[in-house]
Amino acid sequence: MNKQIKYDAYQMIIFDAVASVGSFTRAAERLEVSISHVSKQVKDLEQRLGVKLIKVNSRNLTLTREGMMYAESCRQVVNMMKQASDQVMDCRDQVSGQVRVAMSHSLGSRYIQSIAERLQRDYPGLALEVTLGDCRVDMLEDDVDLWFTTSNEITPGYIAQRLCDIRFLLLASETYLASRDAPQHPRDLQQHNCIIYQSKTRDYHRWSFSRQGEHQEVEVSGNFVIDSAEAILDAVVAGMGIGYIADYLVPNQPGADKLVNLLEPWQTDLRMPVYAVYPSRAALPNRLKAVIEVVRAHLNASPD
């Protein structure tokens, strides 16, 4: 192959990284090269093409009109290279290769160990790299293959495969109920200290319930508001108040046997879907399919 073609392809990969993350620094981190090397390659590319591709100031980096056109071509080339590698890997009998996964912290704390064990047993050639966190994931910038999330804010052009719906329980500890009457109707919750989830994207100050076709929604309040589902469960176990809690969190929680399921026969109305998110592709690589199916099986298994 002509050396110049090889060099062109290399610089297209670098420019695609810069355009995707909008930063020389983050592009260098993704490519595992120095910042100066990335900057030098972009400058060399601009000199060779005879156009300005990037405008840089002290605060940010933006693409010129020519830069946006070139970035789109680079993105297509890089995607074709990835797809070619995926197709060759899928020709092999064994599922193998690296899969980078992002997952919410609460889902990961409950399931990721058993998921990893299952994948290791069934697909020993598969390498799993996991990031846990509750922030919205930029799959290009964070270099993520699969994002397992309950967020409905999916970037256009991505596929969101629905894996399951999380159910919720209304729980309090025996300690909390020892000094007060348990609620008999959803509106009674207004007289109780409720532990509430609130984050930058979600606010659960209103809890909803149903019973035999009757629907009730109540605005609750309390002295502890936090953006961690695990912390809410810890607070409920400690007797601090009542929690509206995802059912998958409860079985492995120390002290969970001392929790009381409230308001029966009322049922909580909230159902939170879990999605597997990935870039739209003509054919999803087998290694990603394998991870999705194992995660699906664990999410849909009956709680321990």
Residue with tokens 């319930």: 209
DSSP run (H or E) holding 93: none
pLDDT tens readout for residues 253-289 = 666 668 999 998 999 999 999 999 998 766 788 899 9
User: Where do the domains of the chain lie, and which CATH numbers do they carry?
Assistant: 3-89 (1.10.10.10), 92-165+273-300 (3.40.190.10), 168-270 (3.40.190.10)
Between these two residues, 260 and 140, which has the higher pLDDT value? 260
At 281 the pLDDT is 66
pLDDT tens readout for residues 205-216 = 999 999 998 999
pLDDT tens readout for residues 240-254 = 999 999 998 886 666
47/49 Cα distance (integer angstroms): 6
Tokens of 141: 């910038």
DSSP run (H or E) holding 126: strand 126-132
Average pLDDT, the chain: 87
180/176 Cα distance (integer angstroms): 7
CB-based contacts of 110-118 (< 8 A; 24+ apart in sequence): 110/248, 110/249, 110/252, 111/248, 111/295, 111/298, 111/299, 114/298, 115/294, 115/295, 115/298, 118/294, 118/297, 118/298
Least confident of 32-41, 84-93, 155-164, 291-300: 84-93
Sequence-distant (≥ 6) Cβ neighbours of residue 183 within 8 angstroms: 189, 191, 192, 242, 262, 263
Tokens of 31: 């490519």
